[in-house]
Amino acid sequence: MPLKGFDREDRWRDFLNEDPRLPLHWDTIKEISAYLGDRFQGASLDFWQKNSGGIFEGKTEENWVIFIDLKLGLSDVKWFSTEKVKWKDRFEQKSIYLTVHPIWALEDDVELLNEKKRNP
CA distances from 58 to 49, 64, 95 (A): 25, 19, 14
Confidence of residue 113 (pLDDT cuts 50, 70, 90): low
Question: Over the chain, what is the mean pLDDT?
Answer: 82
Q: What residue type is 91 in one-letter code?
A: F
- List pLDDT tens digits, range 42-91: 555 555 556 677 888 888 888 888 777 777 788 988 999 999 999 999 99
Count of other CB atoms within 10 angstroms of residue 88: 14
User: In total, how many domains does the chain have?
Assistant: 1
- Identify whether the C-beta of residue 3 lies closer than 8 Å to the C-beta of residue 63: yes
Query: What is the rounded CA–CA span in Å between residue 72 and residue 39?
Result: 10
Give the burial class of 2: count Cβ atoms within 10 A of its Cβ; 0-12 exposed, 13-18 middle, 19 or more buried.
buried
Confidence of residue 108 (pLDDT cuts 50, 70, 90): low
Q: State residue 12's pLDDT score.
A: 94
Domain boundaries, position 108: 2-118
